[in-house]
C-alpha cells in the first residue's frame, strides 16, 4: 500500500483537508495491526477506520468519553466510562480486552485490541464485521450494529466510503497530482 497516497486521500475526506501527526500515527497503528493480523477484506478495514474516526471525534487516538467529571459520575458505569478507539463502557467490557482498571483503554495497545477483537469477534454487541461484509453482503449502514445499534449509521457509512476510496487509491503506485 502506498501510504502517501492513502493519507493524501484521507486528508481530503473525511478529514477536510488537514491531518495532524497524531491522526497519522493512529491510522498507522490501525494499518499496522491489520497487516500483522494478515486480514484481507479492505471493506472491514475501512469500517474500522470509519468507526474510529467517529468514536474518537476525528482524533484517531484513544479518548475518554466526553463530558465533565460531574456528567461522567452520573453514569451507571462510572468509573468505567467510555474509553478507547471505540468507546468501551462498563467494567466487564473493559476487562474483556485486558484492562484491569479505568484508563487502560486509553493506551494504544489495549485500544487496538478492543477495536480489532471487538469488531472481528463480535465482542461489543454480538455482531461482527463478517455479518455485514461478505461475498454477497456489503452493508456499511447495518455494520453500525457491531458497536452501537443504528446511532449515526448513515454518517459512519459515509466515512466508510471515504476510507474505501483512500484504500483503493493507495493500491495504485502513483500519488495524486497535488501530492507530487
Rounded average pLDDT over 170-179: 68
C-alpha R_g of the chain: 16
**pLDDT digits over 99-110, tens only?**
999 999 999 999
Rounded average pLDDT over 153-172: 96
> Nearest Cα to 140, choosing from 124, 157, 155?
157
pTM of the model: 0.95
Count CB neighbours of 180 within 10 A: 8
Q: What is the DSSP letter of 83?
A: E
Distance between CA 94 and CA 139 in Å, rounded? 28
**Cis (ω within 30 of 0) for the bond into 172?**
no
Give the Å distances, CA to CA, from 131 to 10, 136, 137, 139, 148: 26, 10, 8, 9, 15
Distance between CA 60 and CA 26 in Å, rounded? 5
**pLDDT digits over 17-27, tens only?**
999 999 999 99
Cell reading at 58: 476525528
**pLDDT digits over 26-72, tens only?**
999 999 999 999 999 999 999 999 999 999 999 999 999 999 999 99
Question: Which positions ≥6 away from 91 have C-beta within 8 Å?
Answer: 77, 80
pLDDT score at 175:
58
Count CB neighbours of 18 within 10 A: 7
pLDDT score at 178:
65
Query: Is residue 140 very low, low, confident or very high in pLDDT (cuts 50, 70, 90)?
Result: very high
pLDDT score at 180:
56
Amino acid at each position: 500500500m502506498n501510504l502517501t497516497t492513502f493519507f493524501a486521500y484521507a486528508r481530503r475526506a473525511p478529514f477536510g483537508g488537514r491531518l495532524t501527526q497524531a491522526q497519522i500515527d493512529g491510522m498507522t497503528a490501525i494499518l499496522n495491526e491489520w497487516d500483522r493480523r494478515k486480514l484481507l477484506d479492505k471493506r472491514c478495514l475501512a469500517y474500522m477506520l470509519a468507526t474510529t474516526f467517529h468514536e474518537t471525534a476525528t482524533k484517531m487516538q484513544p479518548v475518554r468519553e466526553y463530558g465533565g467529571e460531574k456528567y461522567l459520575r452520573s453514569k451507571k458505569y462510572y468509573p468505567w466510562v467510555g474509553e478507547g478507539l471505540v468507546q468501551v463502557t462498563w467494567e466487564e467490557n473493559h476487562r474483556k480486552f485486558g484492562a484491569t482498571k479505568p484508563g487502560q483503554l486509553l493506551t494504544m495497545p489495549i485500544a487496538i485490541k478492543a477495536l480489532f477483537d471487538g469488531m472481528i469477534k463480535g465482542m461489543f454487541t454480538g455482531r461482527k464485521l463478517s455479518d455485514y461484509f461478505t461475498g454477497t453482503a456489503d452493508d456499511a449502514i447495518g455494520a453500525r450494529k457491531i458497536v452501537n445499534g443504528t446511532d449515526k449509521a448513515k454518517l459512519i457509512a459515509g466515512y466508510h466510503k471515504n476510507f474505501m476510496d483512500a484504500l483503493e487509491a493507495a493500491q495504485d503506485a502513483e500519488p495524486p497530482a497535488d501530492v507530487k
